[in-house]
Amino acid sequence: MMNITFKQLRYFEALTRHGHFGRAADDCSISQPALSVQIKELEETLGVVLFERSARQVRLTGFGQEFAERVRDILRAVDELGDLARLAKDRMVGRLRIGVIPTVAPYLLPTLIHQLNAVHSGLDVHIRETLTQKLIAELLEGRLDTAIVALPVSEPGLVETALFEEKFVLVRSATDASAPVPSPEGMREMKLLLLEEGHCFRDQAVSFCNFRSPLPRDGLDGSSLSTLVQMVGAGIGVTLIPEMAVPVETRSAPVSLARFQGDEPSRTIGMIWRKTSPLAPRLLEIADVVRQAADQLRQQNTHLLPARPVSAA
């Protein structure tokens, strides 16, 4: 029987993910020489080279790629054994790894963390903020317990549960405050500032305006809603933001807000987790806390949101 240790598998997975000994060692909180020794011992135990090494990068060999798939399954299964033990307790305790998309995280998390600490005082919450596709990948690999994203994600290995609906508002220069609210078709004639590729919020804005492909190239692809709002304040164009972002993003920019008439653009925010996760019953409890946090935030922000227009252009 091969003497492969669980620690070696963890180090192998980290090196596979980072492709760099230094970054993998930092991730594992050990020295780079210690990580190198463990990887070398693993290769000697297997009798096969797992990585091609160069001065700047390491890459998996053909066997290493096959080995990595099995290792991910093993590590995920071990993590789920721990989750099974946590489920047997009367309440949710220990580490909870939550992923959140960038157009939700800065606005919902302060309220959510406060409520989680109040309701589940034994939780050690770890937050990961990144794009939806990365969150899905990390969930499937077992590196996250759950994620808060815009639905649907339509991933066969994941469960989706809706949390709340959220409208989008139009952000224009303060000088346009009295101008008629454009229709979706009228938005196509304006310089619409969008988040960069990869953000689901970008796709939702494009869908509402029914842009024809390819998209206009004379706008701005921003990495955050904050950048877009500040550019609108500088007179560059218009943008859309979700309701929960209004208090944070518009407090320091000379902009005006408006709602659309008729069917307003919106999104469904929900939670996702692996179908095989033993934590599923506890995650449903967490989902209730997220709903309560979102409802509290909505009530706090009501007076800051614009009223619906009487008529549209």
CA-wise closest residue to 64 among 55, 75, 56, 53 = 53
pLDDT score of 190: 86
pLDDT score of 305: 86
pLDDT score of 208: 84
Q: Are residues 102 and 244 in the same domain?
A: no
Give the CATH number, domain containing residue 77: 1.10.10.10
Give first-to-last CA distance, the chain, whole Å.
75
pLDDT score of 72: 86
- Distance CA(116)–CA(69), nearest Å, equals 34
Domain assignment of residue 313, yes or no: no
Domain hosting residue 234, numbered range: 165-266
Give the CATH number, domain containing residue 230: 3.40.190.10
- Distance CA(251)–CA(32), nearest Å, equals 45
Q: Are residues 157 and 74 in the same domain?
A: no
Kindly report the pTM of this predicted structure: 0.77
Q: Where are the alpha helices (DSSP H) in the chain?
A: 6-18, 21-28, 32-46, 62-87, 105-119, 132-140, 184-187, 200-209, 225-233, 246-249, 280-301
pLDDT score of 95: 84
pLDDT along the chain (313 residues), means of 10: 83 89 90 92 90 83 89 83 67 84 96 92 90 94 93 95 95 91 84 88 84 56 90 92 94 92 90 91 93 94 78 44
Are 191 and 237 contacting, i.e. CB atoms less than 8 angstroms apart? yes
pLDDT score of 106: 96
Q: Are residues 239 and 189 in the same domain?
A: yes
